[in-house]
């Protein structure tokens, strides 16, 4: 049985400490506040010592973002798992509501993953995007596939899709393993586009101060998306919905 050496354990601990500090700085002050000097100061090592564990600041951001995505995916999957397997509307809406709650409670982490690329992320941005695209497809993708297999709804045929869109949807399907007709993949990604847009508007306070709490608009979107997939009759408002 393989066991870690003391040196390996120390390296793992240092890596965890650095990522935890980086995440705290991001959550508190934003990714632009990150610097090797500040991270090293908080971990109580020299900036040069960080290079024993990470390539550069962007590498720290890359690994920290993976931790954030892993925690987010775990939270979203937990929201799916508590719903009945045959209640497709609930299994789609529950993680979406959870995503909104997470985004509003972790605005700077949302900005790191889903906002405008920053200088600190540098060449890590592509890896970060690929990671959350894959992990989030593992949450919603299986539910969409199960829904499609049980209750298919009208979608465009492959030859009705614009050639570049058809190529892009095929590439996404191959990369994520979301095995549905390309037209159904378009619906799934269109849903994500709408969800992201609604949540981003709220996270970045684009409607404030006229509309501070956008839950009614969010729930209207949930109803619209369920209607699109023939699940409108299965929509249920949140138990905390306001009168």
Residue pLDDT tens, the chain, 243 long:
457 677 767 777 889 999 999 999 999 999 999 999 999 999 999 999 999 999 999 999 999 999 999 999 999 999 999 999 999 999 999 999 999 999 999 999 999 999 888 887 877 888 899 999 999 999 999 999 999 999 999 999 999 999 999 999 999 999 999 999 999 999 999 999 999 999 999 999 988 888 888 999 999 999 999 999 999 999 999 985 444
Domain ranges of the chain: 6-234
- Residues 123, 58 contacting (CB under 8 angstroms): yes
- CATH number of this structure's domain 6-234: 1.10.357.10
User: d(Cα 229, Cα 92) in Å, to the nearest integer?
Assistant: 11
Task: Tell whether omega for the bond before 56 is within 30 degrees of 0, i.e. cis.
Answer: no
Identify the residue whose tokens are 């190529």.
167
b (16+ CB within 10 A) / e for 20-51: ebbbebbbeebbeebebeebbeebebeeeebe
Q: Which of 205, 200, 206 is nearest to 221 (CA)?
A: 200
CA 19, 20, 21, 25: dihedral to nearest 10 degrees?
100
- pTM here? 0.91
What is the greatest pairwise CA distance in the chain?
62
């Amino acid at each position: 049985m393989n066991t870690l050496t003391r040196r390996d354990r120390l390296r793992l601990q240092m890596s965890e400490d650095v990522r935890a500090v980086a995440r705290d700085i991001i959550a508190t002050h934003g990714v632009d506040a990150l610097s090797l000097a500040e991270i090293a100061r908080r971990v109580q090592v020299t900036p040069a010592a960080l290079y024993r564990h990470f390539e550069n600041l962007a590498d720290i951001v890359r690994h920290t973002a993976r931790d954030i995505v892993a925690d987010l995916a775990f939270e979203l999957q937990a929201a799916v798992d508590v719903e009945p397997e045959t209640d497709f509307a609930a299994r789609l809406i529950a993680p979406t509501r959870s995503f909104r709650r997470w985004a509003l409670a972790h605005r700077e982490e949302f900005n790191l993953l889903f906002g405008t690329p920053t200088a600190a992320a540098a060449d890590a941005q592509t890896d970060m995007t690929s990671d959350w695209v894959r992990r989030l497809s593992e949450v919603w993708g299986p539910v969409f596939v199960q829904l499609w297999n049980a209750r298919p709804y009208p979608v465009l045929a492959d030859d009705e899709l614009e050639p570049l869109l058809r190529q892009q949807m095929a590439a996404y399907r191959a990369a994520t393993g979301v095995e549905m007709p390309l037209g159904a993949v378009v619906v799934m990604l269109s849903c994500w586009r709408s969800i992201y847009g609604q949540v981003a508007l709220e996270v970045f306070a684009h409607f404030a101060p006229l509309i501070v709490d956008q839950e009614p608009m969010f729930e209207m979107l949930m109803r619209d998306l369920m209607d699109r997939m023939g699940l409108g009759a299965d929509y249920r408002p949140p138990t905390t919905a306001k009168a």
